[in-house]
Amino acid sequence: MSIKWYFYSDTNSRVDEIELILQKRSQSLTSIQKLDDIYVKLEQTPHAILFLKANTVYNVYDLCQEVSALYPHAYIILIAPDNNENVKKAMHVGASNLLTFSSHEEEITEVIIQAQKFMSLRAKQENTPVLQLTKKNTKVISISSSKGGIGRTMLTVNLATALAKQGKKVAIIDANLQFGEVALLFDIKPKLTIYDWVKEGYDRGLFSTEKYMSKHSTGVSILAAPQRPEFFEAITEQHIETAVNELKKYYDVILIDHTSTLSEIHLKSLVLSDEILLITTNDIPVLRSNRLFLDTLQSLQLSGKVKLVLNRDSRKKAISDKKVEEILQIPLYASLPDQGQQVAASINEGIPFLLKNSRVVLSKVIFQMAQKLFSETGNRLEGYKKQKSWLAFSK
C-alpha cells in the first residue's frame, strides 16, 4: 500500500515543517494549489491523507465536510485556527484528525503516525473493494429559464433519452418540487420521491438515493418531485447538494429540471452544475426576463456556464437569431424547431418525443446536442458553425 500525502491551504502558508517530518519518515508531500485539484487527486488515490488548512477564502469546517462527503476514503487532517479549535466540530464534519496553526513538531509527528497506522489497519481489511470512489467526470446540467411553459421539461426528458441512447447512465432530479412533471412525461407513477428520500433516508443519516429513483425502460433514472405540492417545503438546498453528490457515485450525467423561480434550491443547483442550459424563445417578454436572469447569474459569477438554447424556433420569425444573441449577449448554442402538435401528443402519451419520432428534426437536434455536450469541441468557444439554418451549434 502506498500512501499519498497532500496539503491544501487557501492561506499561502508554508508546509516546510510537515514536509520535513514526512521526509524523515521517507514520505513525500504534494502541495495542492487549486481546490479543484483536491478532487482530481482524491478521485485517483485510494490511500490519500489530506492536510486541510483554510481560513481566508473558505471556512475550513465547511470545506472539510464537502471533501469528506465526496471522498469518504480520504483521511483528512484538519488544520484549524488556534482560537477556533474544536475537536468535536472537526469530527462532525468528517475530519479524521485535528491540528492547529500553532501545532509543534511533536504534535504533528504524533498525528502523522496515527494516520499511517490507521491507513495500514484499513488496508488489511481492503481485500474486498469496499471503498466507493465517486464516478469520474459526472456532468451536472441544469435546465433553466426565467419563464414557465417554455420547454424545460420537454428538453430535460428528451435530452436524458438521447444521452441514455448514447450509452450514458442518466439521472434526472425533478427540482420543480411543487408541480414536477418529469415522471409524468415518462409515463411513470413514482412509488418513492425526493420527499421520501429526505424523510426516510437523509434525516436518518442514510444518504444513498438509489432506492428512491424511478427507473424508465430507456435506462433513465428519476428522483421525482414530491407527490403533493405542500411537501416541497421539506426540501432544502442542502438536500439537493447531497442528492447531487450521491448521484455522482453512479451516474455519468445528472440533469436538473427547474422552475422559473430563482429560489435557494435553484441557485444551489446552478452552483453545483457544470453547464446551465438557458432556454429562451424569441419573444420580447421572454428575452427581457432571460436578460435579467443572465444579469443575476453574472453577478454570481455563474454566467460562464450558460449555454443558450432557443426553443420553438421557426422560419417565420420577427426577431432574428443575431438579435437574440445581441439582446442576451451570448451566442446561441442550439436552436430547437417548433414541432407543433407532435410535441404535445408525445407529452400527453408519456413517451419522450425522441423515442416516438426519432427521425424528425427536433429529435435529431436534441440527439446532436447530447453528443456535443460530451464532445471536447462542443465545450470550446469556437467550433460549430451553423449546420442547417436551425441547427445552430455556435459554442
Ligand X SMILES: Nc1ncnc2c1ncn2[C@@H]1O[C@H](COP(=O)(O)OP(=O)(O)OP(=O)(O)O)[C@@H](O)[C@H]1O
Binding site for ligand X (CB under 6 A): 145, 148-154, 176, 311-312, 336, 338-340, 343-344, 347, 362
Q: Tell me whether residue 5 or residue 390 sits nearer to ligand X (CB atom).
A: 390
Indicate the residue among 148 and 285 with the shorter CB distance to ligand X.
148
Tell me which of ligand X, Mg ion, none is bound by residue 362, counting a contact when its beta carbon lies within the kind-specific cut-off of 5 to 8 angstroms: ligand X
Rounded-to-integer distance, Cα 199 and Cα 139, Å: 27
Residue nearest to ligand X (CB): 148
* Residue with Cβ nearer ligand X (216 or 248): 216
Query: Shortest distance, CB of residue 155 to ligand X, whole angstroms?
Result: 7
Nearer to Mg ion, 153 or 357 (CB): 153
User: Residue of minimal CB distance from Mg ion?
Assistant: 153
Distance (Å, whole) CA 92 – CA 193: 28
Neighbours of 142 (CB within 10 A): 27
Our CB check for Mg ion shows the closer of 280 and 394 to be: 280
Helix (H) or strand (E) holding 294: helix 284-299
Residue 276: what residue type? I
C-beta of 75 vs 232, nearer to ligand X: 232
Q: Which does 154 bind (CB under 5 to 8 A by kind): ligand X, Mg ion, none?
A: ligand X
Q: Given the complex with ligand X, which of 94 and 180 has the nearer CB atom?
A: 180
Minimum distance from residue 144 beta carbon to Mg ion (Å): 11
Kindly state the smallest distance separating residue 14's Cβ from Mg ion, in Å: 52
Collapsing DSSP states into helix, strand and coil, what is residue 247? helix
Q: Are 158 and 186 in contact (CB under 8 A)?
A: no
Question: Which cell numbers hold the place of 118?
Answer: 490507521
In this complex, which beta carbon is closest to ligand X, that of residue 149 or of residue 205? 149
As measured in angstroms, the least distance from the Cβ of 186 to ligand X is 13
If 0-12 CB within 10 Å is exposed, 13-18 middle and 19+ buried, where does residue 35 land? middle
Contacted entry of ligand X, Mg ion, none for residue 150, CB cut-off 5 to 8 Å set by kind:
ligand X
Using CA atoms, how far apart are residues 255 and 262, in angstroms rounded to an integer?
17
Is residue 217 within 8 Å of 188, Cβ to Cβ?
Answer: no
Interacting residues with Mg ion (CB under 5 A): 152-153
Instruction: State the minimum distance, in angstroms, from the CB of residue 285 to Mg ion.
Output: 18
The number of CA neighbours under 13 Å toward the Cβ of 104 is 1
Question: Minimum distance from CB of 179 to ligand X (Å)?
Answer: 7
CA 187 – CA 310 distance, rounded (Å): 26
> If DSSP codes are grouped into helix, strand and coil, which group holds residue 184?
helix
Among ligand X, Mg ion, none, residue 76 binds (CB under 5-8 Å by kind): none
**Among ligand X, Mg ion, none, partner that 354 touches (CB below 5 to 8 angstroms by kind):** none
Residue closer to ligand X by CB (options 87, 344) is 344
C-alpha cell read off for 380: 470550446
Question: Cell numbers of 10, please?
Answer: 487557501
The phi-psi region of residue 315 (left if phi > 0; otherwise alpha if psi is between -120 and 50; otherwise beta) is alpha
**What is the DSSP code string of 66-105?**
HHHHH-TTSEEEEEE-GGG--HHHHHHTT-SEEEETT--H
Amino acid 220 reads V
* Min separation Cβ 272 and ligand X, Å: 20
The least distance separating ligand X from the CB of residue 325, rounded to whole angstroms, comes to: 19
Q: Strand, helix or coil at 37?
A: helix
3-state secondary structure 287-345: HHHHHHHHHHHHHCCCHHHEEEEEEEECCCCCCCHHHHHHHHCCCEEEEEECCHHHHHH
Out of Mg ion, ligand X, none, what residue 338 binds, judged by CB under 5 to 8 A for its kind, is: ligand X
Choose the contact partner of 32 out of Mg ion, ligand X, none; CB within 5 to 8 A by kind.
Answer: none
Shortest Å, Cβ 43 to ligand X: 34
